[in-house]
Amino acid sequence: ASTLGASAAEKGRYFGTAVAANHLGESPYVSTLNTEFNSVTPENEMKWDALEKSRNSFSYGPADQIVSHAQSRNMKVRGHTLVWHSQLPSWVGSLNATELRSAMNNHITQVMQHYRGKIHSWDVVNEAFQDGSSGARRSSPFQDKLGNGFIEEAFRTARAADPAAKLCYNDYNTDGQNAKSNAVYNMVKDFKQRGVPIDCVGFQSHFNSASPVPGDYQANLKRFADLGVDVQITELDIEGSGSSQADSYSRAVNACLAVTRCTGITVWGITDKYSWRASGTPLLFDGNYNKKPAYHSVLAALGGS
Ligand code: G3I
């Protein structure tokens, strides 16, 4: 096939991108989105500060805009993200443990019921582990007040709110085998053993020269898949340019394709001009929506041309 989405579909996968609602009025942005991608992740619009800025008052405007666009074009939607320490309104941090537990469960339930049937996978919990060698949980209002059990509780609440959605744990610096990914692995293994509902693990995959595509990326995806969960590449972007960037991208795509349970790849934006890496060029289309060498290498890796 001649596009990323259609080529991925021929391999039984989706190929998605992060989307920002405020760019949906820009015609080359929308035409590139519509032509190339068959899944979207709202880049910021489904985060807690966007959906529930004050307690129990929900506003879905920009997130709904993305979901409607996706539905009208038959694209899948990844929900990002229900429980995360960042982009969290300050009121959440000032609750006591009892209030926080109820606010967390209410947030998950309200948001997932609003989108029930429209989201194929939800990042239920995002970035709950620390970087470095400790394998410990990251400090957050959830961790600090509710303890380790908050992740399990979030997943159980999520399953009840939308039983058809795949429930994912999502993190970064877990792409290769290291202390952080080992800690996530042990959590997922424990969840599967105890019947805690988890369906998928997201590997953000933000790569640069200090943190390149790991040599054991495929092996790491595979060991998680072997626990009985799907794996997804959820926020792929790779700093660089030209053929070295293109090579890195094809290695990343090939790693997913080599793992049966790697169900899809999402890049973290369409064009370099709107990347969260302000000064970088980590995406597949340049600032003028021209296809970069990285685009062509991804398309080729997916079997397209
Ligand atoms: O909404 C305000 C807007 O009103 C204001 O005019 C503008 C001025 O700076 O800021 C806007 O908020 C920004 C928001 O993006 C929306 O554009 C925030 O400052 C900015 O911090 C925020 O950045 C996002 C970042 O998450 C925040 O943590 C990036 O767009 C988004 O790409 C990034 O995505 C994260 C994933 O969710 C989780 N994994 C890592 C990834 C990259 O950091």
**What is the ipTM for the molecules in this complex?**
0.94
Q: How many CB atoms lie within 10 A of CB 57?
A: 8
- State how far the Cα of 77 lies from the Cα of 147, in Å rounded to an integer: 30
In degrees and rounded to multiples of 5, residue 283 shows phi and psi of -105, -175
pLDDT, averaged across the chain: 98
Residue 235 designated active-site: yes
Q: Which of 41, 43, 44 to mutate to test the pocket of ligand 1 (most atoms within 8 A of CB)?
A: 44
Expressed in angstroms and rounded, the spacing between residue 19 Cα and the centre of ligand 1 is 12
276 Cβ below 6 A of ligand 1: yes
Q: Which amino acid is at 298?
A: V
Question: For residue 46, what are the contacts with CB-CB under 8 A and spacing of at least 6?
Answer: 63, 79, 80, 81, 111
Q: Is residue 41 pLDDT above 90, yes or no?
A: yes
Please, which pLDDT band fits residue 305 given cuts at 50, 70 and 90?
very high
Q: In this structure, are strands 14-19 and 200-203 parallel, antiparallel, or unpaired? A: unpaired
Is the full-model pTM beyond 0.90? yes
Write the pLDDT tens digit of every residue in 138-170. 999 999 999 999 999 999 999 999 999 999 999
Q: Exactly one of 36, 153, 235, 239 is catalytic; which is it?
A: 235
Segment 254-275 shows an average pLDDT of 98
* 23 Cβ below 6 A of ligand 1: no
Q: What is the 3-state secondary structure (H, E, C) of 89-135?
A: CHHHHCCCHHHHHHHHHHHHHHHHHHCCCCCCEEEEEECCECCCCCC
Cβ neighbors of 261 (< 8 A, separation 6 or more) are 225, 229, 230, 231
Q: Which two tokens stand for residue 209?
A: 């020269």
Question: Using CA atoms, how far apart are residues 187 and 260, in angstroms rounded to an integer?
Answer: 22
Q: What is the pLDDT of residues 171-196, one digit of tens each?
A: 999 999 999 999 999 999 999 999 99
pLDDT, tens digit (0-9, with 9 covering 90-100), for 205-255: 999 999 999 999 999 999 999 999 999 999 999 999 999 999 999 999 999
pLDDT band at 278; cut points 50, 70, 90: confident
Q: Tell me if residue 46 falls in helix, strand or coil.
A: coil
What phi and psi, each to the nearest 5 degrees, are found at residue 139?
A: -65, 135
The CATH architecture to which 4-301 belongs is: Alpha-Beta Barrel (3.20)
Rounded mean pLDDT, 257-282: 96
What is the Å distance from ligand 1's center to 44 Cα? 6
Residues 6 or more apart whose Cβ sits within 8 Å of residue 153: 101, 104, 105, 146
The residue type of 276 is W
> Hey, which bits of 140-254 come out as E strands?
166-171, 200-203, 206-207, 230-238
Position 279 confidence tier, pLDDT thresholds 50, 70, 90? confident
**CA–CA dist 167, 157 (Å, integer):** 11
> Measured between alpha carbons, how far is residue 121 from residues 1, 125, 159, 180 in Å?
25, 12, 11, 23
Output helix, strand, coil percentages for the chain, rounded to the nearest 5: 45, 20, 40
Please tell me if the CB atom of residue 235 comes closer than 6 angstroms to any atom of ligand 1: yes
In short, whether 44's Cβ falls inside 6 Å of ligand 1 is yes
